[in-house]
Amino acid sequence: MKIIRLQFLLAAFILVPALSFSQTTSMGGRGLFRTLSAENVQTSQLYFNTYFASFLEPNKVRKDLGQDHTVTVGLTLGISRHLEFMAMLTPYQDDQASIWAPPGDTQLGLKFQTPFSGSVIKTAVHLFTRLPTAKRHNVQFEPFSSGKVTAALLGILSLDLTDSFPLFPLKIHANFGYMDHDLPGDPFSGIDDQFIIRSGLKFPIRSTVFFTEYSAEVFANNPLIDVYSLNSQRLTQGIKFLGPWSTVMDLVVDFSLSKKSIVPVLPYIKDYADWKIIFGVNYQMRLKRATKRTRAKRLVDEKEMRRIEKMEEILDKRQEANEEMRRMEESLQNKKSKEKKENN
């Protein structure tokens, strides 16, 4: 009985997150927080998200002064099964100087899932450009920005272990790429160019997803940054969960892993915040009506969920009945033992 119940619980455990929502990054595109997944959102699905990041540090004069606040707005559009468009705007970028912070840079990108992707191993390529729409660049507590048009190419690898290990439905993602911070200049040789390194894993528990990721931007040709630990890098821990009105909420904590430089080499190294708290909201909508095939699949999934819930109710009632029978048997055994002792 317990084995049957465990199987149904595992089915619900894995199926609910898959049916409920897809997760998108703060920059747009399906993934964790910064780490992209090789999977794409479904065709004609449009995701809007907004993230608020804050690093708070008491000031000697004003105890309520925040050192860093950033607001980003992103969108993700499923163009086809293998193609995904993403964009990120930064309407508010704290520059530590202005009363009302000016906007930050804008990022646009395309992600292509390769036809070599299977059920367990998926691969994709992400091409994006960053437009220098910010009024000021290299603001404190933020990764390096050249203030020029930037282009990057990113390779993505995802491992889906959900079917292989049902008891531990883990998904692992890794990103590696090269970012040219001066697009008109010579490629792969600029002093500002950086490698992009990201990796992360997520573990779903019903409609909640726990994830951990590491991300870094490492200078490729900069003689001033000759130690890996001086580069911008961070460890991110977060959860994604269903909120009201079919939204997906994100609660994230960033921990800086960068070593502080003894000799200032600004603008390449800045005093990145030791920690940040980020809160995000993600909303999904469909641009066109679902096809008959999609509606049929959705109906089947809903029926399957109702069947699982009904089976869980039956199993609960059976377990309660078994517990009641066990208590009655124990009571009867105790009564017989007591009578036997009295007769002796």
Q: What is the CATH number of the domain that holds 193?
A: 2.40.160.40
Q: Is residue 7 part of a domain?
A: no
Residue 6 in domain = no
Q: Please answer whether residues 74 and 105 qualify as being in contact, where contact means their C-beta atoms are separated by less than 8 angstroms.
A: no
Residue 276 belongs to a domain: yes
**Range list of β-strands (E), the chain:** 45-56, 66-78, 83-93, 106-113, 121-131, 150-160, 171-180, 194-205, 208-219, 232-242, 247-256, 275-286
Angle between helix axes 2-20 and 292-343 (nearest 10 degrees) is: 150
Q: Which residue segment(s) compose the domain that 269 sits in?
A: 20-288
pLDDT for res 108? 97
Flag whether 321 is in a domain. Answer: no
Q: Which of 18-22, 41-45, 163-167, 179-183 has the lowest mean pLDDT?
A: 18-22
Asked if residue 89 is part of any domain, the answer here is yes
pLDDT tens sequence across 210-232: 999 999 999 998 988 888 999 99
Residue range 51-78: mean pLDDT, rounded? 79
The total domain count for the chain is 1
Arithmetic mean of pLDDT over the chain: 84
Between residues 123 and 10, the one the model is more confident about = 123
Percent share of the chain, pLDDT over 70: 85
**Residue 178 forms part of a structural domain:** yes
Q: What is residue 62's predicted lDDT score, i.e. its pLDDT?
A: 52
Least confident of 111-125, 130-144, 300-314, 319-333: 300-314
In a domain, 206, yes or no: yes
Cα separation, 284 vs 45, in Å, equals 7
Residues 6+ apart with CB under 8 A from 74: 24, 25, 26, 27, 28, 47, 48, 49, 50, 51, 86, 87, 88, 89
pLDDT at 123 over 70: yes
Identify which of 9-18, 49-58, 228-237 has the greatest average pLDDT.
228-237
132 assigned to some structural domain: yes
| pLDDT tens digits, 80-119 | 989 999 999 999 998 877 778 889 999 999 999 999 888 8
Give the pTM: 0.76
